[in-house]
Amino acid sequence: MRAATMTRQRDPEELRVPRDRFGGLFRDKSWHETPAGSLLDTPAARAWLKLVSEGARAGIYTHQPPLEGRSGPRVEVDGHSMLLLSSYDYLGLVGHRGIEQKAVEAVRRYGTGTGGVRLLTGTKELHRELEAAIAGFKDTERATVFSSGYLANEAAISALFGPRDLVVLDELCHRSVIDGCRLARVPVRRFRHNDPEHLDAVLARHARDRTIVVVEGIYSMDGDVCPLPDIVNVKNRHGAFLMVDEAHALGVLGRRGRGSHEEFGIPSSEVDLWMGSLSKAIPASGGYLAGRGDLMVYLEHGSAPFMFSAALCPSATAAALEALAVIDSEPLRRVRLRRNADQLRGGLQDLGFDTGKSASPIVPVIVNGVHAALELARDLWLEGVMASAIIPPAVPRSESRLRLCATAAMRDEHIEQALAAFAAVGGTRRT
């Protein structure tokens, strides 16, 4: 008998059912068996364990899928090829041979770890080269690299602001900025998302001597773009500082991928502090702050993550450095990215899905409620499509969603398969 006929022929749909990621932890035990007085006897732990265990049992838990290789439009999960629709790899640079080559060379030359924090013995010449390249990219005097974008945001706010100052946030700003504010114990006011008039009103009423406005170049959950020139006018009128988080904008906005200032043709110096991530359009990890030289030198001494957390590892540093060069030398990637984003967004809208205010590669598919998002992700999974369900605390419950990201690596057939899968599972979820 041939081997193939000895193995049970399984229904392909059965093969694709999301697997239990918890090693059977919840099979015989339910979340409410967590003993009173244990470490998990908190409202937050109970709520999460209830959601996760029920989701795992119901087969709608599609988070933490362990990919078997590189990220890309097609990935291997649980032995199956899946279409991946939620990768931050906007320019399709994961797997770029030149970038990987530089990362491998960096490991050979500098090793796998740095053995230190940046301030003491962790700084390599590579870090300085990367910082010079970022400063050139953002047209600033200096840039400083941190081991994640999250830490860069936290570092900036907590080192520069305190209880006597004020941070004014767009209401959709990222958690890392909010956590920086908590650490700084600085008062926070929010203005309505992308609403410069409301920002004006908030500043008129509440501005203090040292007030900073924080916005994102492209908003991570909604995929809309910040109206930077209007924000700049308002903050100038009130003498406030401005910080722009470009985690999703670097490499994506602007003719040469320089980000928001290039997109809108405003001088980089209108923004006091640029922040970006090295884990999205740049296929590495880490984050940076960029601005005036003296400001950066202060942050290298006055911000905790630079002093108390290990330096970015050599492979990521070298990959990021080479990726900046590739962004310059391969501009067609941005053209493909925009075309793919337009096709994906337009196709979903034609099918009747609510893509919110998306005007970038980030395309939300908004549904009403946590379970609706988890179930939609599961239904797509059964069709061979992976799309991340985003639920509270990242977004309000009623705006739970799938968050799709177009990438330059997607080909027409990937977008066609994505749209066919959405058409197949659409049902009542359309607007």
Positions that interact with ligand PMP (CB under 6 A)? 148-150, 153, 174, 176, 216, 220, 245, 247-248, 277, 279, 287
Nearer to ligand PMP, 327 or 419 (CB): 327
What is the C-alpha to C-alpha distance for residues 33 and 162, in angstroms, rounded to an integer? Answer: 43
DSSP 269-305: GGSSEEEEESSSSSSS--EEEEE-HHHHHHHHHH-HH
Residue 245 CB, nearest distance to ligand PMP (Å)?
Answer: 5
Nearer to ligand PMP, 312 or 409 (CB): 312
The helix/strand/coil state of 34 is: coil
Residue 150 CB, nearest distance to ligand PMP (Å)?
Answer: 4
Residue 24 CB, nearest distance to ligand PMP (Å)?
Answer: 31
Nearer to ligand PMP, 278 or 348 (CB): 278
What is the C-alpha to C-alpha distance for residues 323 and 321, in angstroms, rounded to an integer? Answer: 5
C-alpha distances (whole Å) from 302 to each of 118, 150, 207, 283 are 12, 17, 25, 28
User: Which residue is at the shortest CB distance from ligand PMP?
Assistant: 149
In which residue are the tokens 């999301």 written?
18
DSSP 392-429: TTSS-GGG-EEEEE--TT--HHHHHHHHHHHHHH-GGG
Nearer to ligand PMP, 149 or 196 (CB): 149
Residue 184 CB, nearest distance to ligand PMP (Å)?
Answer: 17
Q: Which residues 6+ apart lie within 8 Å of 388 measured at CB? A: 63, 86, 377, 402, 403
Nearer to ligand PMP, 46 or 63 (CB): 63
Neighbours of 112 (CB within 10 A): 10
What tokens appear for 83 in the block?
């279409």
What tokens appear for 20 in the block?
């239990």
Residue 349 CB, nearest distance to ligand PMP (Å)?
Answer: 24
Nearer to ligand PMP, 214 or 415 (CB): 214
Cis check for the bond before 393: say yes or no (omega within 30 of 0).
yes
Nearer to ligand PMP, 117 or 420 (CB): 117
Nearer to ligand PMP, 220 or 417 (CB): 220
Residue 218 CB, nearest distance to ligand PMP (Å)?
Answer: 8
Decide: 390 and 401 in contact? Cβ < 8 Å.
yes
Neighbours of 216 (CB within 10 A): 28
Nearer to ligand PMP, 86 or 176 (CB): 176
Residue 405 CB, nearest distance to ligand PMP (Å)?
Answer: 11
Residue 78 CB, nearest distance to ligand PMP (Å)?
Answer: 25
Residue 277 CB, nearest distance to ligand PMP (Å)?
Answer: 3
What count of Cα atoms within 13 Å lies in the side-chain half-sphere of residue 239?
Answer: 5
What is the C-alpha to C-alpha distance for residues 174 and 394, in angstroms, rounded to an integer? Answer: 9
